[in-house]
Structure formats: C-alpha cells, structure tokens
C-alpha cells in the first residue's frame, strides 16, 4: 500500500487561507468517507483536527475544514495564524486487510 | 484523564527485537482498539497494525507481516508491540493511539527506537 500524496510544504501569511491536498486511490480516499487529518508540532504526538472527511472534534477551531472529491481529500486552514505552523498528516481507511494509510505529510509555514 | 503512556526509549543492535508498551488509563481498556504507527526522522507517519484488546485479534500492515506481533495484558491495560529482525530503517519514533470509528483520538507520547551496532 503506497502512502497518500501530500505537498511537501505550503505557506501563507497571517489571515490568508491555505489548502493541503491528499491524493490516494479508489481503494482508500475515494472508497471510504474515513479521511482524517492530524496536526503535529515538532517533538510532539499528532492530534486529530478533522475526521470523517469534514467533522471537527470538540475544541478544534472552525478555521480548519475538510473536504473530498474523488480520490483527493483536502484540508483548508482559513485565517491562518502563527500557531498553525506545524506538520499536517492525512490518513484514510483502506479496507479490512490494509486498514489504514497515511499521507507523506505537509509542513505549513506562516510567513 | 484519558491517556496512553508508552515505555521508554530503546537502543538495539541490528537483528535484535524490540518491545514497545502502551498503557491505557482513564477509560475502559477493552472498549477501544489500539493502533501502532511509526515516524522515521523527517518522514511521515506509517501505520503498522492494530489490536482489539477485548478479543485479542490483530491486523498488521503488509510491510510488517512476519516481523510484528501485538499482544495485550488486560490486567494492566497494556498493549505490547514486538518488532523483530531490526534494521537501520526501523529507527523511528513509535506511537500508539486509540482507534474509534475512522480516527485516532488519543495518542501516546511516542517511544524512540535507535538501531545501531
């Protein structure tokens, strides 16, 4: 099972919006509505910010949103803030035998 | 509070085996699956496998079939992950996480595994 494809890095100024793509196949992203996104600061464990494609856990700011079209999922951060500078990982369910596959990870830089 | 606490850092020689443990607290241990992931330096996350603590059944990623084994000790709410035949490419931070639906909602702090002769 190959990793989902994410851009290596994206950047934006405070207040701007950035979108991170996560491209898989019909066997993972395109086949299930179980895409989740994780935010990770250096030296820390990941934290879930989006699940089931577009749901936000309690406490996650509404400037984080998720969507999916075909085999590509996307995470949008609106109104970028300095504290959003982190690594972001997508993850998709991929069926009973493969179970889960992660993306290659994206570093978000706030200029 | 709900948390997963992992065992400490390990240094192993090539060819050896390593055990990483993940102790759950603050919730009913047998109600949720435990998954293990790893992250090599500067790389993304890689899913390794899962265990259902209630039934003891497991599932492993194809990349680790034959080298990884997950077991549990219900009396201490702990899932162990054993990885054998270590090589330099196995140097990584290993994480456990609680699985619920299609997400991993609680993560351990991570365990560093160094493979060096």
pLDDT tens digit sequence for A28-68? 999 999 999 999 999 999 999 999 999 999 999 999 999 99
Instruction: Tell me the pLDDT of chain B (117 aa) as tens digits.
Output: 999 999 999 999 999 999 999 999 999 999 999 999 999 999 999 999 999 999 999 999 999 989 999 999 999 999 999 999 999 999 999 999 999 988 999 999 999 999 999
CB contact under 8 A, A96 and B45: no
Phi/psi at A45 (5° precision): -75, 155
- Which residues of chain A make contact with B101, given a CB cutoff of 8 A? 34, 51-52
Distance CA B111, CA B83 (A): 13
Three-state SS string over chain A comes to CCCEECCCEEEECCCCCEEEEEECCCCCCCCCCCEEEEEECCCCCCEEEEECCCECCCCCCCCEEEEEECCEEEEEECCCCHHHCEEEEEEEECCCCCCEEEECCEEEEEC
CB contact under 8 A, B108 and A34: no
Write down how long chain B is. 117
Q: Which two tokens stand for residue B28?
A: 């009913």
Residue B46, chain A, CB below 8 Å: the answer is: yes
CB contact under 8 A, A48 and B43: no
Residue in A41, A45, A40, A26 with CA at minimum distance from that of residue A101: A26
């Amino acid at each position: 099972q190959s990793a989902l494809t994410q851009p290596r890095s994206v950047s934006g100024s405070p207040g701007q919006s950035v979108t991170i793509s996560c491209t898989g196949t019909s066997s993972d992203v395109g086949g299930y509505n179980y895409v989740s996104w994780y935010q990770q600061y250096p030296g820390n464990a990941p934290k879930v910010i989006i699940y089931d494609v577009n749901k936000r856990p309690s406490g996650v700011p509404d400037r984080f949103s998720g969507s999916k079209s075909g085999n590509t999922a996307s995470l949008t951060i609106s109104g970028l803030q300095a504290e959003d500078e982190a690594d972001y990982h997508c993850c998709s369910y991929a069926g009973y035998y493969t179970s889960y596959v992660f993306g290659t990870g994206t570093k978000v830089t706030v200029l | 509070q709900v948390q997963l606490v992992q065992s400490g850092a390990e240094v192993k020689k090539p060819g050896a085996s390593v055990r990483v443990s993940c102790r759950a607290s603050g919730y009913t241990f047998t109600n949720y699956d435990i998954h293990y992931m790893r992250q090599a330096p500067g790389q993304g996350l890689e899913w390794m496998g899962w265990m259902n603590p209630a039934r003891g059944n497991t599932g492993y990623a194809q990349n680790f079939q034959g080298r990884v084994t997950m077991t549990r000790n219900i009396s201490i709410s702990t899932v162990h992950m054993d990885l054998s035949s270590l090589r330099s490419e196995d140097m990584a931070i290993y994480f456990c996480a609680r699985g619920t639906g299609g997400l991993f909602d609680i993560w351990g702090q991570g365990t560093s595994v160094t493979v060096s002769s």
